[in-house]
Amino acid sequence: MSSLFETTYNPDVLSCLANLSNDEVFTPPELANQMLDLLPDELWSDPDATFLDPACKSGVFLREIAKRLIEGLKDEIPDLQERLDHIYRKQVFGIAITELTSLLSRRSLYCSKYPNSKYSVVRFDNAEGNVRFHRCEHTWRNKRCVFCGASQGELDRDESYESYAYEFIHTDKPEELLAMKFDVIVGNPPYQLNDGGNGASASPIYQYFVEQAMKLNPRYLVMITPSRWFSGGKGLKSFRESMLSDKRIRKMVDFINAKDCFPQNSVGGGVNYFLWDRDHPGNCEITTVLGSKRDTMTRALDEFPTFVRYNQAVSIIHKVVNSGLPAYDRLVSSRNPFGLPTSVRGHEKRQPGDLTLISSKGRSFISRSDVEPNDNIDKFKVMISRITYEHAGEPDKEGKLRVLSKIAVLEPGEVCTDSYLMVGPFKSRSEAENAVTYLRTRFARFMISQTLSSINLSKEKFCFVPQVGLTKSPVDKSLYDDFGLSEDERDFVESLIHGPEVFDAN
């Protein structure tokens, strides 16, 4: 009989739950423990240390914290039941995001969804224990929630539906929710909410959990979030600036491909978890993860105008910046350079004075009067698809990126819709063609890739690409030589970026 138990697969239910695709990404126990490993070991033998998960889903963080404390406090509190009573009543607390997850979390932590039942490992005098869920409502102003930005049209509904008004972020005074100080706050908050925009438009909300947690001023904060904030984005500009300048972020593990962290979930731009250490500011130990490869370096998060995810890229960027050459972002247009939305299609037959229109559907014609005045209309320029080639920024099966999608020369009299960015102008067709060749090099696309944490391109994403001479077609070897890249640096670029030949396969 014993051999049966030893050989039969008995999966952790929370591991199974973490593999379900869900809007709120569940945390596998293995990942929860990797995050908890960032904390000092002495916490697990401290009977006065307090822990809060403000975004409980499966209860995995609270369960794993309790397991560590049960072991760590053996000497301090030898009697097991007394130890359990102390840990569960005085040290471990949670705020659930929904009623269902409150039941899941209590079941994980107390072995009973009702901690006042006889099956609970610790008997409370109420059905909540230290894992609370209080239904909260949005506060609407101008059809938006003032706390999370949710759309009133989407989420103003009766009590038979979940409101998704998460209690922890729907208050100006989070310290009043539990009326106590916490040494550690840890969690995996919800990532986004439908904001009622066009299509499946959604706004990030994870930043509000991080900001609320910091307001409580714990000794340590450990959270996992999407990595899109590295380069800003919808509602994330101030959050990005404050995070990158915060010297209390001492460790960060960044997954370029979210599937290396959450195998069943696709999170555009990857994910990261970090340790915020209130009392020990300094540079950050950054570990970059891509597949089986891990690279660690200690550096400042705000060393560059945009956060650089690959540690191996830092030395290359230094060499390019030190060259003194201006960056390509000066040549790249802002969005919609000709004032033509992506939906514009033009007409099939050319009329006198018409311009040629390039849209995602191909070529057509448009009246010059329908185009926003632009000094570059009648000059040579280059257009680049505004969406990167990769879905959600994830490398392909070879672990490589193509980065850019369509790149082409625009003749004088040719314009494009908002599906594209414009680069230029250039003095001649040959110079524009050389610019296309340059942007197709591994080197140029590598420099662009260091700024990406979403599928969208903008002029800011070209801040590391140097302007080089365009009297001849640039090639990677000469660019490597010109900027003094070492063999290791060249190998790294080529290990990450597909060669220019990928464009010939279109």
CA distances from 450 to 231, 265, 320, 328, 465 (A): 10, 23, 13, 14, 10
Q: Quick one: pLDDT at residue 17?
A: 55
Provide mean pLDDT across the span 298-307. Answer: 92
Query: What is the band of 397 on the pLDDT scale with cuts at 50, 70, 90?
Result: confident
399-424 mean pLDDT: 95
Q: Is it true that 2-303 and 318-505 share their CATH fold? A: no
> Does the structure show a pLDDT above 70 at 26?
yes
Residue 1 clears pLDDT 50, i.e. is over it: no
Residues 102-122: tens digit of each pLDDT: 999 999 999 998 899 989 999
Mean pLDDT confidence for 176-181: 90
Give the tens place of pLDDT for each residue, 241-283.
Answer: 999 999 999 999 999 888 888 887 778 888 999 999 999 999 9
Q: Is 147 within 8 Å of 174 (Cβ atoms)?
A: no
Pick the CATH number of 318-505 from 3.10.110, 3.90.220, 3.40.1350, 2.60.40: 3.90.220
List the domain boundaries for the chain: 2-303, 318-505
pTM of the model: 0.86
Quick: pLDDT tens for 282-291. 999 999 998 8
Query: For residue 235, what are its two tokens?
Result: 């509602």
Topology at the third CATH level for domain 2-303: Rossmann fold (3.40.50)
d(CA 209, CA 223): 9
pLDDT for residue 7: 42
Element (H, E) at 244: helix 237-244
- 420 versus 24: the higher-pLDDT residue is 420
Give the chain's largest Cα–Cα span. 92
The pLDDT of 316-336, averaged and rounded, is 95
- pLDDT value at position 5? 34
Length of the chain: 506
Q: What does the mean pLDDT of the chain come to? A: 90
Residue 3's pLDDT band (cuts 50, 70, 90) = very low
pLDDT tens figures, 38-94: 999 999 999 999 999 999 999 999 999 999 999 999 999 999 999 999 999 999 999
pLDDT tens, residue by residue, 135-147: 889 999 999 999 9
Give the pLDDT confidence score for residue 20 in this predicted structure.
43
Q: What is the pLDDT of residue 390?
A: 84
Which segment of 114-128, 166-180, 193-207, 405-419 scores lowest on mean pLDDT? 193-207
Identify the residue with better confidence: 23 or 217: 217
Given this model, what pLDDT does residue 192 score? Answer: 87
Query: Is 386 in contact with 419 (CB distance < 8 Å)?
Result: yes
DSSP codes joined into one string, 40-65: -GGGGG-TT--EEEEEESS-HHHHHH
- pLDDT (0 to 100) of residue 231: 81
Burial letters for 8-25: b for 16+ Cβ neighbours within 10 Å, e otherwise? eeeeeebeebbeeeeebb
Strand bridging mode 144-145 / 407-410? unpaired
Q: How confident is the model at residue 345 (pLDDT cuts 50, 70, 90)?
A: very high
| pLDDT of 506 above 90 | no
Residue 183 has pLDDT above 50, yes or no: yes
Residue 6 clears pLDDT 70, i.e. is over it: no
